[in-house]
Structure 1
Amino acid sequence: MTWLALVLALMLEQFRPIGRRNLFYGGYSGLAETVDRNFNAGEYQHGVVGWFIAVMTPTAAVMIVWGLLYLVHWSLAWLFGLAVLYITMGFRQFSGAFTGVAEALKEEDLDTARALVGKWTRDSASEMSANELARVAIEQGLIDAYRHVFGPMFWFVLLGPGGAVAYRATTILQLKWGARDRRLGEKFGQFADRAAYVVDWLPIRVTAISFAIVGDFEDAAHCWRQQAERWSSAAYGILLAAGAGAIGVRLGMPVHQGHTVRFRPELGVGEDADANTLASAVGLVWRSLLFWLALILVVTLAGHWGRLTGF
């Protein structure tokens, strides 16, 4: 039933996507801001308390509702889990931007591509070349695919609806508190950063392995071993290095941004990024997703067969 919930959630999200600024995201953002206002006194321990309140409150609420529905009938609990998965995933939240950048680059419309990349990454892209735009778009696309698809899927399969909610809450707090306090040099958001690192440790490696399996395994493994640790975020370095190696493209490297050159390490091997390699990145994500679904289905069927046969 978990496999069916995953497939239906993905199908629902394709036909009726939930926007990034949806009611549920807005409600949780309001909770995060309330906790921030009331508990942020600038100390690390305050961030620990705030994180547990902001993550465990919605997680516990979802698990309680899920458990009560299960007592009534398993089908109600399953439908509730499907709804939670649909809300916490978001393939279409980034795929539209990815497609728009690819089309603009194919038409050599750099102004549109720059505007789309800038809006997507929430950073300046007005000085980037076509190659730089393609690189940044692929990097952001692979990261968003992990955040919005593979991460929630992993924790949903492992821990049910509560796992997906806890994962989504953790990633939001990392972006809201961790990134802010990292930039300002403050302590409140440090625990949110560390918690996200722990939560991401296993699923990000599983995602990188799936990139290698459905792509060029040898190059993906080589780039993972040799290049990942150079990236500013070790976790995303693994994801991007494996992804770049799997599709044979060079990511990272310097980009023109903010009237200067922002130096970044090189990731991947092979071609320079362009509109065609954006399509390759989309293909990598889809093949990895199908691989996950196939693997989950096999494990599910094997479990059912074992129960039926007594093994």
Structure 2
Amino acid sequence: MTLFSLILALALEYWRPGRSQDRFASLFSAYADMVERYFDTGMRRHGIAAWILAVVPVLALTGWIHHVLYGFSPLLGWMWNVAILYSTLSFRRLGDALAGIRDALRSGDTPLARDLSQGWSGASLEACNDTEIARCVIESGLIHAHRHVFAIIVCFVLLPGPLGPVLYRLSDLLSARWGGRVRAPDAFGHFAARAFEIVDWIPARSTAAGFAIAGNFEDAVYCWRVQAASWLNQAEGVILASGAGALGVRLGDALREPNGQYHRPEVGVGDEADADFLQSAIGLIWRTLMLWLLLLLALEIARWAG
């Protein structure tokens, strides 16, 4: 039923994209802020306790609801899985955002492309040209596809029922909310950042492998092996290096901001990013999704045959 749950959730999210993920994030963020107010003393051990208190009750409630519904009917348990996936996946919004920016770049409307990019990715692109906008959007698109589509699929397959997607989404939210302020190993948010690195280790490499298979395999593996370690965030480095190699485009490097430039390691091989490579990135994400669904279909057939 794993494959059918994913297909139905993806179909619902694609044809009726809602704000369920935003509501989920908003509710949990409010809860996380309450926990932080009581536990944030600037010490790591209190950060560990806060992370457990924030994550474990939500996981327990999610698993308990699935158990109760499945006890009434397996169909109800399956529908709960679909509801959780629908609330954690975000595929349609990614495709719409990338397509809108691509069209603006192709029509030569740089201000519109810049506004759309800033509104979607949150990055400051005021002083960026078309190439830098395309580069930043491709990077954000690959990372978004990983965290909001492929990692959710991997965690759903690896952990029973709806626990995997919920654990990944909660870990991601806490890492961004608490771990983003880490300044020292003993800080309150250090454990949140480290916990997400652990949860994301297998999904990040699974996404990178999917990009390599769906694109230029040789260049993707080369960039992954040689360039990924240069990126500060190791998971993002693996994904971006593999994705850039698969597309045959150069990502990273300096990105202009109103107050100057900041340097990021260059990953990938080939040409500078542009609107055509943005279209190629959309195609790579679609092919990778189809690859995962075909793999799950093969596993389902093997299980039935066995």
Q: Are the aligned partners of 1:18 and 1:90 in contact in 2 as well (CA < 8 Å)?
A: no
Give the TM-score normalised by the residue count of structure 2: 0.96
State the Cα deviation string for residues 176-234 of structure 1 (Å, max 9, x = none): 1111335x998111111101100111111011011111110100000001110111211
Amino acid at match of 1:104: A
Structure 2 unmatched runs, 5+: none
1:287 paired residue number: 287
State the Cα deviation string for residues 251-303 of structure 1 (Å, max 9, x = none): 01111013201111111001110001001001111100000000011111101
Within 5 Å, give how 1:228-247 maps onto structure 2.
Answer: 228-247=228-247
CA distance in structure 1 between the partners assigned to 2:12 and 2:186 by the alignment:
40
CA distance in structure 2 between the partners assigned to 1:119 and 1:22 by the alignment:
15
Deviation at 1:37, TM superposition (A): 1.1
CA distance in structure 2 between the partners assigned to 1:148 and 1:22 by the alignment:
12
Within 5 Å, give how 1:264-275 maps onto structure 2.
Answer: 264-275=264-275
CA distance in structure 1 between the partners assigned to 2:57 and 2:109 by the alignment:
46
CA distance in structure 1 between the partners assigned to 2:186 and 2:133 by the alignment:
32
Q: How many residues align?
A: 305
Deviation at 1:110, TM superposition (A): 1.3
1:174 paired residue number: 175
CA distance in structure 2 between the partners assigned to 1:97 and 1:20 by the alignment:
18
Within 5 Å, give how 1:257-268 maps onto structure 2.
Answer: 257-268=257-268
CA distance in structure 1 between the partners assigned to 2:20 and 2:235 by the alignment:
24
Say if 1:20 and 1:133 are closer, same or farther in 2 by CA, change over 3 A. Answer: farther
Q: Are the aligned partners of 2:242 and 2:268 in contact in 1 as well (CA < 8 Å)?
A: yes
Q: Does the residue aligned with 2:267 lie in a helix, a strand or coil?
A: strand
CA distance in structure 1 between the partners assigned to 2:301 and 2:65 by the alignment:
28
Q: Are the aligned partners of 2:20 and 2:87 in contact in 1 as well (CA < 8 Å)?
A: no
State the Cα deviation string for residues 54-86 of structure 1 (Å, max 9, x = none): 111111100001011111111110001110111
Q: Are the aligned partners of 1:19 and 1:93 in contact in 2 as well (CA < 8 Å)?
A: no
CA distance in structure 2 between the partners assigned to 1:136 and 1:231 by the alignment:
15
Deviation at 1:21, TM superposition (A): 6.6
Amino acid at match of 2:172: T
Out of 92-101 and 4-13, give the one that drifted further: 92-101
Q: Are the aligned partners of 2:21 and 2:89 in contact in 1 as well (CA < 8 Å)?
A: no
Q: Are the aligned partners of 2:21 and 2:87 in contact in 1 as well (CA < 8 Å)?
A: no
CA distance in structure 2 between the partners assigned to 1:262 and 1:107 by the alignment:
28
CA-atom RMSD in angstroms: 1.5
2:188 paired residue number: 188
Matched, 1:89 2:78: no
CA distance in structure 1 between the partners assigned to 2:210 and 2:22 by the alignment:
30
Q: Does the residue aligned with 2:18 lie in a helix, a strand or coil?
A: coil
| Runs of 4 or more consecutive aligned structure 1 residues displaced over 3 Å after TM superposition | none
2:117 paired residue number: 117
1:70 paired residue number: 70
Structure 1 unmatched runs, 5+: 307-311
Q: Does the residue aligned with 2:167 lie in a helix, a strand or coil?
A: helix
Q: Does the residue aligned with 2:126 lie in a helix, a strand or coil?
A: coil
1:56 paired residue number: 56
1:208 paired residue number: 208
CA distance in structure 1 between the partners assigned to 2:33 and 2:64 by the alignment:
24
Amino acid at match of 1:179: G
Amino acid at match of 1:71: G
Out of 133-142 and 50-59, give the one that drifted further: 50-59
State the Cα deviation string for residues 91-142 of structure 1 (Å, max 9, x = none): 1233322222111111111111212222222231100111000000000000
Q: Are the aligned partners of 1:88 and 1:148 in contact in 2 as well (CA < 8 Å)?
A: yes
Q: Are the aligned partners of 1:59 and 1:165 in contact in 2 as well (CA < 8 Å)?
A: yes
CA distance in structure 2 between the partners assigned to 1:66 and 1:21 by the alignment:
19
CA distance in structure 2 between the partners assigned to 1:10 and 1:257 by the alignment:
36
